Amino acid sequence: MLCLPTSSATLTDGATLLIDGEWSSADHTFNRFDPSVAHKIVGTFASATPGHVSRAYEAAAGAQIGWSHAPAVQRANILRHAADLLEMRIEKGARRLTADTGKAIRAARAEILYSAALLRYFAGELLQPSGEFYPSADTRTAVLTVEVPVGIACVVTPWSFPFALPTSKLAPAIGFGNTVVWKPAQAASGSAVFLTETLIEAGLPSGVLNLVTGDGRSLSTSLTGDVRLAALSFAGSRDVGLGLRKGVADRNIRVEVGGGEKSPAVVLADADLEDAAAQIVRGAMLTSGTRCATVSHVYVQHSVMAEFSSLLRERVSRLVVGDPYDETTDTGPISVDQRATVAEDLEHAHDEGAHVIFGGMDNQGGCSMKPTVTTGVAASRHLLREEIFGPVFVLTEVEDFEAALAGTNGTRFGPGAGLFTSDIAIAMKFARRSNSGVVHINHGAASDEPDAPLDAFEALGSMCRGQGKSARAFFTTAKTVYLRTPN
């Protein structure tokens, strides 16, 4: 296997396109800045053109047959080796991730370890039994199914989890024999280069994974319009996902589109309130509110609203907000691109009557933002309707379980929902009646088991669950074989 040199040790030359095993730059480049020091350039990246995307598809097509015929053991070994390399280089990778997103360094390390766990899970999944055997009326004929890759996959990923989310898609895509054209968010370009370098060094052949960096708006048509595309896997904002899905709506390809950062939680009067406060703060704040299943609004039963609000405020006040590279920091700055958006969201909510009981924007420099808790938001108002990609959540008082359930099911997003209660009957009722794809009972919003399916039921209507065996089902298809022995 060919192991290629890295694109650029310092990310200064813009050589961040990997096409058919070769790193190259483009006529135009863009810079990215560290969210904690907004004027500090952390990398220069190539702005891919539709021509680059076409070349990436050509490379993926050229590698498809050979890679799909590679033994599963060989593909599994590459994924396993990549996991080992990630763990060996965790400090460098974590600093690259933090420079992209502003995520606290401890959270960055945890994300890289989770990416390694995903790689190892799918390495093991590749060696599980596959296919089925069917009885035939003809004693000389065997009827069976064999699992084959779907072909070329286009993977489009966001900036919020620049290692974990891409790995959850790339590992099963390439592991099960597909080739990939990958377009990461611009803000996650540094992490994307690092993850690509890792997979290449692990032994991935040329053309199996092709990386194109740049502006997604200028590349969307070329990414979805190539006739060689067999599967589209996207995570990110709702509007972008809808646009990409419409781009392939009239074609017979696999589509997995997830997005929408709105996860509600319910706290009933019989809950362990201290534990609920701890779990909710962890789910809402420790990734600076940028997890796609971040707890964004909390419905609290009237009789415990005052006590729970006090506990929540006390928990939030303990969080250390500051330099993301400091080991003591709990929550770092948000994305350069998101800070202005979140500030506008809070101003809009204030105009509608929302009241900030803790936190708010920090104007001391960089893109820092205090963890923020608001109240006084009607169900139809801005903070409950839109994606707020920052450490902000809303407290809403409700009379009982039914009112809380109606609130949680009233959002157009549905990646996850939580309930805190000591009543097992109510817990099971919530699990059955919630519209969310992942339900947390007395548990925070982190869905961090590599083998478990996840994602929303209704957010974008793709109905593909991602991760675990669901990922295997998405990136493979069953071929029926009739095998008749000769005379």
Residue type at position 89: R
Query: Quick one: tokens of 81?
Result: 């080796």
- CB atoms < 10 A from the CB of 86, how many? 25
- CB atoms < 10 A from the CB of 399, how many? 10
Q: Is 5 helix (H, G, I), strand (E, B) or coil?
A: coil
Distance CA 253, CA 236 (A): 20
Q: Highest mean pLDDT range out of 10-14, 257-261, 353-357, 399-403?
A: 399-403
The pLDDT assigned to 257 comes to: 81
- Give the model confidence (pLDDT) of 423-452 as tens digits: 999 999 999 998 887 888 998 766 667 777
Q: Which residue has the tokens 């919630």?
A: 434
Q: Between residues 292 and 243, which one has the greater pLDDT? A: 243
Residue type at position 286: L
- Give the model confidence (pLDDT) of 152-187 as tens digits: 999 999 888 899 999 999 999 999 999 999 999 999
Query: Which residues have C-beta within 8 Å of that of residue 177, sequence separation ≥ 6?
Result: 67, 68, 69, 70, 75, 148, 149, 476
Distance CA 206, CA 252 (A): 27
The pLDDT assigned to 459 comes to: 46
Task: Name the band, by pLDDT with cuts 50, 70 and 90, for residue 457.
Answer: very low
Q: Between residues 413 and 139, which one has the greater pLDDT? A: 139
Task: Name the band, by pLDDT with cuts 50, 70 and 90, for residue 82.
Answer: very high
Mean pLDDT of 189-205: 96
Q: Is 106 helix (H, G, I), strand (E, B) or coil?
A: helix
User: What is the SS3 string spanning 207-262?
Assistant: CCEEECCCCHHHHHHHHHHCCCEEEEEEEECHHHHHHHHHHCCCCCCEEEEEECCC
Distance CA 289, CA 153 (A): 29
Query: Quick one: tokens of 140?
Result: 């000389």
Cα 96 to the center of its chain, rounded Å: 17
Distance CA 151, CA 134 (A): 26
DSSP letter for 206, please.
T
Q: What is the value of pTM for the model shown? A: 0.89
Name residue 478's beta-bridge partners: 147
Distance CA 443, CA 280 (A): 8
Distance CA 338, CA 333 (A): 10
What H or E segment, with its residue span, contains residue 97? helix 90-101
Instruction: Output the CA angle 120-152-11, nearest 5 degrees.
Output: 65
Distance CA 45, CA 183 (A): 13
The pLDDT assigned to 79 comes to: 98
Q: Highest mean pLDDT range out of 25-39, 310-324, 346-360, 473-487?
A: 473-487
Q: Is 204 helix (H, G, I), strand (E, B) or coil?
A: coil
Q: How far is CA 63 from CA 5, 43, 206, 472, in A?
A: 20, 30, 7, 20
Left (φ > 0), alpha (ψ -120 to 50) or beta: where does 131 sit?
Answer: left
- CB atoms < 10 A from the CB of 51, how many? 10
Mean pLDDT, the chain, whole residue set: 85
The pLDDT assigned to 292 comes to: 62
Distance CA 258, CA 463 (A): 9
Residue 201 confidence (pLDDT) above 50: yes
Choose among 61, 74, 104, 68: nearest CA to 1: 74
Least trusted range by pLDDT, from 91-100, 268-277, 406-415: 406-415
Buried b (16+ CB within 10 A) or exposed e, 107-124: bbbbbbbbbbbbbbbbbe
Choose among 445, 422, 444, 428: nearest CA to 269: 422
483 neighbors 142 (Cβ within 8 angstroms): yes
Name residue 370's beta-bridge partners: 360
Distance CA 419, CA 416 (A): 11
Helices vs. strands in the chain: H and E counts, helices first: 15, 19
Name residue 233's beta-bridge partners: 155, 256
Q: How far is CA 98 from CA 282, 324, 331, in A?
A: 19, 7, 11
Distance CA 453, CA 468 (A): 5
Query: Which residues have C-beta within 8 Å of that of residue 196, sequence separation ≥ 6?
Result: 7, 18, 182, 209, 211
Task: Name the band, by pLDDT with cuts 50, 70 and 90, for residue 11.
Answer: confident
Q: How many residues does the chain have?
A: 487
